[in-house]
Amino acid sequence: MTYAMPENFVWGAATASFQVEGGLECDGAGESNWLHFCRKPGRIKRDDIPLVGCDQYHRYREDVALMKRLGIKAYRFSLSWARIFPREGVVNEKGLAYYQSLVDALLEAGIEPYVTIFHWDLPQYLEEKGGWRTKETSKKLGDFASFMAKAFGNKVKHYFTVNEITMFTAAGHNGSGMAPGLKLPLQEIYQTIHHGNLAHGYVAQALRGAAPHAEIGIANNPGITVPLYETEENIDAARRATRFNNASCHTAIEEGRYLDEFLEKVGKDAPHFTDEEMKIIATPTDFTGFNVYTGNYCTADPESPQGFKMFSGAADHPYMDLTWLRFVPTAIYYGAKFIHELWGKSTYVTENGCSAADVLSQTNEIYDSGRIEYLRNYLRNLQRATAEKLPVKGYFQWSLLDNFEWAQGFTPRFGIVYVNYATQQRIPKWSAKYYAQCIKNNSIL
Ligand code: NOJ
């Protein structure tokens, strides 16, 4: 079949605890730094607050049944650390039981659980002790991972360590409007990124110890640079640009070092680190997961010191519902290709999707043709990667449900399933029907 995908390709959907669970004040859940942040007026668009959100905490059985109907084979979800440990060292049995029941419900439905240990919601008591400004937090996340892996036992066979390091570190500390909403000097910002890298390493080590049967890897957001057009020189330039532009995270994780060029560029603002920490950060993992929504362009440029010239896109470059969501479908192909070529890793696409200004038709349907076109183009580029035998293990659509889009609140709708927040009704959009059909045919329609 045209655009056929490999056998056993993992067709998934993804969400994250703070974005879909709700129940944030139920059954003894503790406060996270994100909830604390949202409670302050003026931080989140329209002052939205996901106390109830999609209420997956109470409706997970319905959501699992929905995934089963769509033919989804794997569900990526994250753990609310504060729900499980509302106070330091104190387990909330009901919070823990929630995740155990979710895993059981998934397995009963034939859906493979993929657990993200940390997707941004940090217990507020740890935020108050220094959050990502201290490496104590990194170490504690490792302990939490170990506890959870033991609690899940053999039932969970796939883990993502942490999600998008620069978003919970840099973007929360450089005035970009993410929790905890600080604005620190540059050196301290790089230091938080280093602590995020370290957290990934501690979690990887902990999971190896507590879940030796499981495959593990990060779910990060490397900036992918693609060639403006495909010549040998431009492809080579884009590969080098992808490595260089991700030097605050990926060379540390994959190569165990910060590049000399990076350390020279940031100079006195460079993170402080030890050889021992670099070894922890570079703990070997089984794959590299990457979230991909957009990309940057480059061409080879023998005149410039780095040998390439970057373009983020023309002012009128097509984008989806949010301005940062520029339409660059080749980024998914080049992400899989460059991660493999640079670091020898197999990959999962841990997130891909787009928001759209979805409207309900009179017949209660959502004709999200823009999202279908976005998905089709990205998925066909992913199919190109698999056809070239690049080791891509699976794809997680972001997102199963419309949900809480951080500082943007509930306004952007990223789901392939529409959520009516007043009634909690779930309505699969046409993109969900499209995705279900791709899964059924194991090819990109
Ligand atoms: C990546 C983040 O992991 C996720 O939480 C977010 O909703 C999507 N990007 C869309 O912005």
Count CB-CB contacts under 10 A for residue 215: 16
Could you confirm whether 254 is annotated as catalytic? no
Distance between CA atoms of residues 141 and 119, nearest Å:
11
Q: How far is CA 17 from the centre of its chain?
A: 12
Give the Cα-Cα-Cα angle 93, 97, 101 (nearest 5 degrees). 175
Chain segment 84-100, per-residue pLDDT in tens: 999 999 999 999 999 99
List of domains in the chain: 10-441 (3.20.20.80)
pLDDT of residue 379: 99
Ligand 1: residues whose CB is within 6 Å?
Answer: 16, 19, 163-164, 291, 351, 398, 405, 414
The mean per-residue pLDDT over the stretch 133-157 comes to: 98
Residue nearest to atom 6 of ligand 1 (CA): 405
Annotated catalytic residue within 127, 164, 254, 405: 164
If you measure from the C-alpha of residue 6 to the centroid of ligand 1, how many angstroms do you get, rounded to a whole number? Answer: 27
Distance CA 59, CA 63 (A): 6
User: Which residue's CA is minimally distant from atom 11 of ligand 1?
Assistant: 405
Q: What is the pLDDT of residues 233-289, one digit of tens each?
A: 999 999 999 999 999 999 999 999 999 999 999 999 999 999 999 999 999 999 999
DSSP string, 286-335: SEEEEE-S--EEEEE-TTSTTSEEEE---TT--B-SSTT-B--THHHHHH
Q: What values do phi and psi take at 296, rounded to 5? A: -115, 160
Q: What is the mean pLDDT of the chain?
A: 98
What are 204-217's pLDDT values in tens digits?
999 999 999 999 99
Cα(225) to ligand 1 centroid in Å equals 19
pLDDT of the residue at 1: 73
* Ligand 1 atom showing the smallest separation from residue 405 Cα: 7
CA distance 82 to 299: 46
DSSP string, 204-272: HHHHHHH-TTSEEEEEE-PPPEEESS--HHHHHHHHHHHHHHTTTTHHHHHHSS--HHHHHHHGGGSPP
Distance, CA of 329 to chain centre: 18
With a cut of 90, say whether residue 406 has pLDDT above it. Answer: yes
Can you tell me which atom of ligand 1 is nearest the CA of 399? 7
For a pocket test of ligand 1, which of 15, 350, 405 has the largest count of ligand atoms closer than 8 A to its C-beta? 405
Per-residue pLDDT tens over the stretch 308-326:
999 989 999 999 999 999 9
Average the pLDDT over 359-386 and give the result: 97
Q: Which residues contact 4 (CB under 8 A, 6 or more apart)?
A: 383, 442, 443
Atom of ligand 1 nearest to the CA of 163: 3
Model's pTM, two decimal places?
Answer: 0.99
Ligand 1 atom nearest to CA at 355:
10
CA distance 10 to 15: 16
Provide the pLDDT confidence category of residue 76 given band limits of 50, 70 and 90.
very high
CA dist., res. 167 & res. 188, Å (int): 15
Q: Identify the active-site residue in 254, 277, 351, 405.
A: 351
Query: Known catalytic residue: 164?
Result: yes
One-letter identity of residue 258: Y
